[in-house]
Structure 1
Amino acid sequence: MSAPRLTDIRLHQQSRILELVFDGGAHFRLPCEYLRVFSPSAEVRGHGHGQEVLQTGKESVNITAIEPVGNYGVKLVFSDGHDTGIYDWNYLYELGENQARNWQAYLDRLSESGYQRQEPD
């Protein structure tokens, strides 16, 4: 099976949603907070298994810019200044496919850490 190819990307800044459409018909609406806390950057993922850094306080983060990276991905610039990590098409597709499971795991980690998630502004 070939890798998914992004065919359309739209940022809805007011609702803080990034809408993605892939060839084959897959369509995802990913919140900016979700994309920020699952950034593929070393700052978030660390440099190896078990070095992930729990991201907190990202409830109201937005995307301020989307920069293409070759024909395989984008760099997302967030309103909190985070701008590292390349979201390739495969990673964006995986984030869409696994959104519910990933989000619940993130909420569980927040709870375990004692962090009280605030409702976005």
Structure 2
Amino acid sequence: MAGLNKYTPIPTEIKLHKKSKVLEISFNDGKTFQLPCEFLRVYSPSAEVRGHGPGDEILQTGKQEVSITHIEPIGHYAIQLNFSDGHNTGLYSWDLLYNYGLNQDAMWQRYLQRLKEAGINHETT
């Protein structure tokens, strides 16, 4: 099974908070992460966001208001998120979501830095 090994924590609950646009995921090791829809959208694991190799990443902009409209389970190892902007091609495996939770702050700062380097103000896009 892709994205799953015997050490991968498994979600015990996945809750979408529509008003705050946050996906809350609780894992069987006791950790709970709150991942904003914008964060999940700009870090989509899809080829159209990640590209086809290192350095191919496509900087996502203007996603502050994006929300998740539907969550589709994929086997016992992932979910597919449908976003309000029509994006729905990324598969979010349990280990990917867990790693996103652990590294969210650093990843978000890196995203804001990439926007800045591209001359884009996050608040006004």
> For residue 111 of structure 2, what is the amino acid of its counterpart?
Y
Aligned to 1:11: 16
**Residue in 1 aligned with 2:80?**
75
Q: What letter matches 1:50 in structure 2? A: G
Aligned residue in 1 for 2:45: 40
> CA–CA distance in 1 between the matches of 2:123 and 2:43?
18
Number of matched residues? 120
* Alignment TM-score, normalising by the size of structure 2: 0.93
3-state SS of paired residue (1:57):
coil
- The one-character-per-residue Cα deviations of 1:36-89 (angstroms, maximum 9, x if unpaired) are 000000011001111000000001100000000000000000000000010000
1:84 to 85, 89, 105: 89
CA contact (8 A) 1:59 1:119 kept: no
Q: 2 CA distance for matches of 1:42 and 1:117?
A: 23
Secondary structure at the aligned position of 1:21 is classed as: strand
**Unaligned 5+ residue runs, structure 1?**
none
State the secondary structure of the residue aligned to 1:107: helix
Q: Unmatched 5+ residue regions in structure 2?
A: 1-5
Residue 59 of structure 2 corresponds to 54
Q: Which amino acid aligns with 1:4?
A: P
- Contact 1:28–1:96 (Cα < 8 Å) also in 2: yes
Read off the aligned partner of 2:62 and give its amino acid letter. G
Q: State whether structure 2 residue 29 is matched by structure 1 residue 24.
A: yes
Query: Contact 1:4/1:89 (CA < 8 Å) preserved in 2?
Result: yes
Large movers: runs of 4+ above 2 Å: none
Following TM superposition, by how much is the alpha carbon of 1:118 offset from its aligned partner in structure 2, in angstroms?
2.4
Q: Relative to structure 1, is the Cα distance of residues 119 and 4 closer, same or farther in structure 2, using a 3 angstrom cutoff?
A: farther
- CA 1:119/1:14 → structure 2, altered by over 3 Å: closer, same or farther? farther
Measured after TM superposition, the shift of residue 119 of structure 1 is 6.7
In structure 2, the residue corresponding to 1:98 is in which secondary structure?
Answer: helix
| Coordinate RMSD, CA, aligned | 1.3
Give the TM-score taking structure 1 as reference length. Answer: 0.96
